[in-house]
Structure formats: C-alpha cells, structure tokens
Structure 1
Amino acid sequence: MENRLIDNETSFYSKAEEYWKEIPPTVDGMLGGYGSISLIDINGSKKFLQKFLGEGEGKTRPGCALDCGAGIGRITKRLLLPLFRTVDLVDVTQEFLDKACSYLGEEGKRVENYFCCGLQDFQPQLDRYDVIWIQWVIGHLTDEHLVKFLRRCRNALRPDGLIVVKDNVAYEGVVPDEVDSSVCRDLPLLRHIVSRAGLCIICEEQQQNFPEEIYQVHILALR
C-alpha cells in the first residue's frame, strides 16, 4: 500500500528535510506544538525501558544508547543520559544537533557522537549499542528502508541489547501526511516490518494519557 502513496522516493525524503529545516529548535517544535506532553511521554518511556535494564541474564546493560531522529536531544536529556553512561545522537537536521550541544548542558559531555544523517543512509557501528531508541521518526522511512535500517540496528546491538520503537500508529492501513512528508502505519504492518527485519517484539504497550485528538502511540521493544 505504501508504494502507491510514495510516488517519488527522492522527493519523499527531500520534502521531509525541507520541512524540518523550517521548524524551530525547541521542545515544542520537536513535538509539533504539543510540548506540554513531553513529561508524560518521558515518564511513560522510562517506566517501559526500566523493565529491561539491569544486571544478569537477559538484562540490557546501561552502557551506550543511540537516539534516532534525536532532534535537539529532548529524549537524550530526559531519558537516555540519566540511564546510560554514554549516548550518540543521529538526526537529519544539523541545526537541531547544533542546538543539542547547548540544550543538553553539562551532562552533554557524555554524548560521544552527533551524526547528521537520514536514517535511510545511517550505518550504526556494529556491536556498539545497548539500546537503540527510535521515536517519532519511522514514518519518514519507506517500508524497504525501514526494514533495512532495523536490520542494521540489530547488528549494532551488544549482547542482550534492545531496540525500542515508539511512534504513532494508524487505525487501519497507511495514512500519508503531506505536510511533513511522512506516513503513519497501522500495527499489523509495523509488526510485519519488524518480522521482515529478523526481529521479535518482546514487549508492546500503548502510551497512556496523551491527548485524544492525536493518533495512538505504541512502544515496541525488539530483539
């Protein structure tokens, strides 16, 4: 279905890049005017993620995390840096990464890398990350590129590492957004993409207490 919605792959990506270049580098800008939900979002993510962190068999270590579609580092600052020793950020918009350097403050010294790159082209280092956090960005990838990116992420995990996808889900099918050049997929399609990438969903939850007018947001832990 997605192939019929995306006529020109190059245009699909370039329009998204142009859209984000016009967005102010603020928390409100990162959240599409819904900056007020940031704390609810972070608290839900932290509760979800802490189920998997710790020492012992099958537990994910608090070593190095990757923030995908990081923007100005909202998730890095509030979620990842408090839980991990080091963090890397990747985003397609250089202005956002430049802002992150000041936004993250003193704790930003524990950020090791800022990668300016679209996820369709990003090659994470093999065996580097304990957690790869992918939030509100998969809609900017085609199905094929998302499958390939998740495969690369799988290979970038350390033993017992975890990929977390947190994003809007459509009620049925694929819903395009012409404004920011993205798509919103339903859960069956997202689960199928995860399977194609050779990953399994080990936990899945719906984020609670978000405004009713936005799409449901689900969190998926993958290995």
Structure 2
Amino acid sequence: SSWYDRARDYWEKKDATVSGMLDGYDAVSAVDLEASLCFLDKVKTLPAYKGGSCRFNYALDCGAGIGRVTKGCLLHRFQQVDMVEPMERFCRSAPDFVSSERLKDIFQQPLQEFSPSKKYDCIWLQWCILYLTDADLIDLLKRCSAALTDGGVICVKENIGELGFEIDKQDNSIMRTDKHYKQLFRQAGMRLLLDMRQPNFPKSLFPVNMYCLRPLDANPAGQPENAETT
C-alpha cells in the first residue's frame, strides 16, 4: 500500500471545502457539474442496441470527498446516493455539506480495498482512479461491475494526458491517455457506450473525458453479441 501513502498525505493537508476538493480551482465546479448532468441525460437516451438507459434510483459516488458531485449532480438525477471516500475528515464533513436525507451510506475506505454491494444503477468515478495502479483499477472496475443492477452503468470522469503516461510525484497520480483508459476498460470486461470531452474548462487545466461503461456480459435482450458492429 506504500504506493498510496503519498496520495493520502497529499489529501491529509487539504481543507474539507469545495476549494480543497478542487485544489483551488473552485471556479470550475459549476462547469464541471453542468457537463456531468448533461452526460447523465445522454445516458438516459442510450439506444436499445446499447442496452438503453440505466435506472435512476441509486448511485454510488467514488472518491467522493465531501460530496461535491453527490450534491451538485447525482442527487439531481438519482433518488438516493451512497458515497465512498478514504479520508475520515471528508466523510465527517459530507452530511452537513450535502445536507440531504437522500444521501444514505458513507463508506470510509480506500477504493483499492472497497467492494460495493450489488444495488447501484450508476457508479460514478471522478478524479479518483488517477490514483490507482492499472492492476488495482482493473480490479475495482470488476468489483463495480458486479455491484450494478440490471442495466446499470459505470461512469468515469478523469483527466486525460495527451502525451502518454506520466506520474505526478506530488501525489502519485497517474496521467493516462484516452487510449490507455479504453484499453483498461476492455481488460476489465467493460464495453464503452458513450464518451464525451468536458467542454468549457480553462486552457490551463488538463483535458477531462467522461466515459459510460457497461459489463460486456450485460447483453441487451434480443440483441446478438456483435450488434454494434453490424
């Protein structure tokens, strides 16, 4: 687990505020949340050959911090939300910050050790898998797949490197390319249904992509396995 110590030490020093969550870039929060809501609305209109929409009952927010995404996005689309977050301080701040009885369970656990129960229509992973090694990321995606309800989806929102694989020594975060992520999704047995670039971010920030994934074995009713290639 020593690989993860640096990220933990880095986040130890951050305030339990939106600014702390976004490393001082709190100005991008509204733009970020707006695009995420738009992305979920696209998920809602997924065509039948891709398995159609997920249900919008129960979501899980991974690496949730104080619940910025839960409060500003997920609770606007889902009836109930659970959060998982490694840092105790952020978990303690979340109920007051989110301030909704529709925020249910908050699990304080590192993602690389977390195994969600099977009840989620959507598992949202934003700005957290950049801390996971490839092997731990693949394992997490497999555990998340197993935790989805029928027709459930995994949504990933993450910084994208244009120049290949880079590690930030400050917090051991990993900058992966779009191609690298897509390869890891395949290795985890996921099918990419939808992807979208975050619009309107300042040029000084890394590009951010959103991906909607489903387990490959979740075959839509009556569809031949190779439906998307015909």
TM-score (norm 2): 0.89
What secondary structure is seen at the aligned counterpart in 2 of 1:97? helix
> Equivalent residue of 1:208, what SS?
coil
Aligned equivalent of 1:114: 106
What amino acid does structure 1 have at the position aligned with 2:167? P
Structure 1 gaps of 5+ residues are 1-9
Contact preservation (8 Å) 1:67, 1:75: yes
CA offsets, 1:169-196, max 9 Å, x none?
Answer: 1012211111122111011111000000
Match 1:132 to one of 111, 120, 123: 123
**2:79 is the counterpart of 1:85:** yes
Q: CA, structure 1 residues 55+174, in 2 after alignment: closer, same or farther (shift >3 Å)?
A: closer
Checking the alignment, whether the CA contact within 8 Å between 1:55 and 1:61 is kept in structure 2 is no
The answer to whether the aligner puts 1:192 opposite 2:186 as a matched pair is no
Selected match of 1:176 from 167, 180, 188 = 167
Partner Cα separation in structure 2 for residue 83 and residue 34 of structure 1: 25
The residue aligned with 1:45 is 36
Q: How does 1:55-74 map to 2 (within 5 A)?
A: 58-74=52-68
How much does 1:56 deviate?
10
Number of aligned residues: 211
* Deviation for aligned residue 1:53: 2.9
* Structure-2 separation of matches of 1:180 and 1:75: 21
Distance apart, 1:14 and its partner CA = 1.2
Distance in 2, matches of 1:49 and 1:220, equals 11
Aligned to 2:151: 160
- Any conservation in 2 of the 1:54–1:60 contact (CA below 8 Å)? no
1:48-100 residue CA offsets vs partner (Å, 9 max, x unmatched):
11122379962211110000010000000011112111110001101001111
**CA contact 1:166–1:219 (8 Å) conserved in 2:** yes
Deviation digits for residues 88-143 of structure 1 (CA, Å, limit 9, x no counterpart)? 000110100111111011x2x112210011110000102x1001000001111000
SS in 2 for 1:81: helix
Pairwise CA RMSD: 1.5
TM-score normalised by structure 1 residue count:
0.91
SS in 2 for 1:50: helix
Taking a change above 3 Å as real, the CA distance of residues 216 and 54 of structure 1, as seen in their structure-2 partners, is closer
SS at match of 2:135: helix
State the partner residue of 2:95: 101
